[in-house]
Amino acid sequence: MCQSNDHAKAQSNKATYRYITIILLNNLISLGHSFAPYCYARTQECYLMKHLVTFVLASQYAVVEYRPGFFLSGPFMNDAASALPRTLGESITAELRRMLVEGELVPGQRLSEATLAESLQISRNTLREAFRILTREGLLTHEPNRGVTVAKPDIASIIDIYRIRRFIECRAISQAYPQHPGVLHMRNAVEAGVQAREASDWIAVGTANMMFHKAIVELSDSPRLVAFYAQISAELRLAFGLLNNPELLHSPYLDMNAAVLGCLDAGKPYEAMRMLEDYLVQSERTVLAAYERSRNR
């Protein structure tokens, strides 16, 4: 009887490893990497391993690993860029972008070089490098004799951001499956949002909402899309900043986030996609209405 159970377990593990290898192989082929056949050649060896299975590949998308009892993780499922070496300027740019995404910097806020350089413990030259990058991305504005300020998105930018969100997020969620690590990240974001709501911390609720949508993009298994969405997230948070009442903006979407997650947990990605489409249309209308009110003040 024990041998029969062991055999069944071995067959289950074999099927799991085969599934993981196919996922990895498909990702590599879609990225155009010539070493994808190497992974396939290693498949039989993977069947026999009972512990950590690690594929090591010669690229920036180098390590994808599977631990029995856990889910596939690594750069195809998460933000690969965070694991790569960065220059100081790139790190500071990423930190400023995070501050924008989490609402620590708001539209129209003037950024003092001296204050920021001191708080980040960097030189002004390094800070200016980050400013230049974020200005090119449309997140900051620079005016002679006035310095650098956080950008205020215009109506065309808001419409374009939501167009991109629908294109990326809806497609990503339509191909999701309940065991994807991105779904776990979505669940963590929902729980963080609920905790923040209980503490009446609506800025933190907004940050949890941003993390929820970042996790949706992770469902695409594309590090490039995740990196691109980081910029979109910063612009989106600036658009949210136009609404002076964060509770009014974020409160309705906590339950919507939970409902979308529930569809994925139930194995209904297309239903989740339709729900997300309606969700994003409603969100866009809310932000555009806030933009119009801000112009009329």
Q: How confident is the model at residue 280 (pLDDT cuts 50, 70, 90)?
A: very high
Hey, what are 77's tokens?
């499922």
| Domain 155-296 classification at class level | mainly alpha
Distance CA 75, CA 288 (A): 35
How distant is the alpha carbon of residue 167 from its chain centre?
15
Position 31 pLDDT exceeds 80: no
pLDDT > 90 in the chain, percent: 48
Place of tokens 């390590």: 63
Q: How confident is the model at residue 18 (pLDDT cuts 50, 70, 90)?
A: very low
**Residue 54: beta bridge partners?**
65
Q: What pLDDT is attached to residue 272?
A: 96
Distance CA 293, CA 297 (A): 6
Q: What pLDDT is attached to residue 101?
A: 86
Q: Which of 7-11, 225-229, 240-244, 255-259 has the lowest mean pLDDT?
A: 7-11
Q: How confident is the model at residue 170 (pLDDT cuts 50, 70, 90)?
A: very high
User: Which residue in 68, 55, 58 sits closest to 22, CA to CA?
Assistant: 55
Distance CA 28, CA 222 (A): 11
By the 8 A CB rule, do 177 and 167 touch?
no
By the 8 A CB rule, do 254 and 193 touch?
yes
The β-bridge relationship of strands 147-150 and 140-143 is antiparallel
- 239-278 confidence digits (pLDDT tens): 888 777 788 888 889 999 999 999 999 999 999 999 999 9
Q: Is 74 left (phi over 0), alpha (psi -120 to 50) or beta?
A: left
Tell me whether residue 227 is exposed, middle or buried, using C-beta atoms within 10 angstroms of its C-beta: 0 to 12, 13 to 18, 19 or more.
middle
- 196-208 confidence digits (pLDDT tens): 999 999 989 999 9
Distance CA 71, CA 125 (A): 43
Q: How confident is the model at residue 192 (pLDDT cuts 50, 70, 90)?
A: very high
- Mean pLDDT computed over 207-219: 95
**How many Cα atoms within 13 Å fall on the side-chain side of residue 93?**
22
- 96-153 confidence digits (pLDDT tens): 999 998 888 988 899 999 999 999 999 999 999 999 999 998 899 998 888 999 998 8
Position 286 pLDDT exceeds 60: yes
Provide φ and ψ at 143, rounded to 5°: -125, 135
Q: What pLDDT is attached to residue 24?
A: 42
Strand extents, DSSP E, the chain = 53-56, 63-66, 110-111, 140-143, 147-150
CATH of domain 84-150: 1.10.10.10
Q: How confident is the model at residue 297 (pLDDT cuts 50, 70, 90)?
A: low
Say which DSSP state 31 is in.
H
Task: List Cα–Cα distances, 96 to 34, 42, 116, 151, 202, in angstroms.
Answer: 36, 42, 10, 13, 21
Q: Count, in order, helices (H) and strands (E) of the chain.
A: 12, 5
Residue 119: Cβ within 10 Å count: 9
**Total residues belonging to the chain:** 297
Distance CA 107, CA 256 (A): 26
Q: What pLDDT is attached to residue 141?
A: 93
User: Which residue in 274, 270, 273, 272 sits closest to 261, CA to CA?
Assistant: 272
**Residue 140: beta bridge partners?**
150
Q: Which of 20-24, 51-55, 148-152, 236-240 has the lowest mean pLDDT?
A: 51-55
Distance CA 49, CA 45 (A): 7
Q: Where are the domains of the chain?
A: 2-76, 84-150, 155-296
Answer whether 0.85 is exceeded by the pTM.
Answer: no
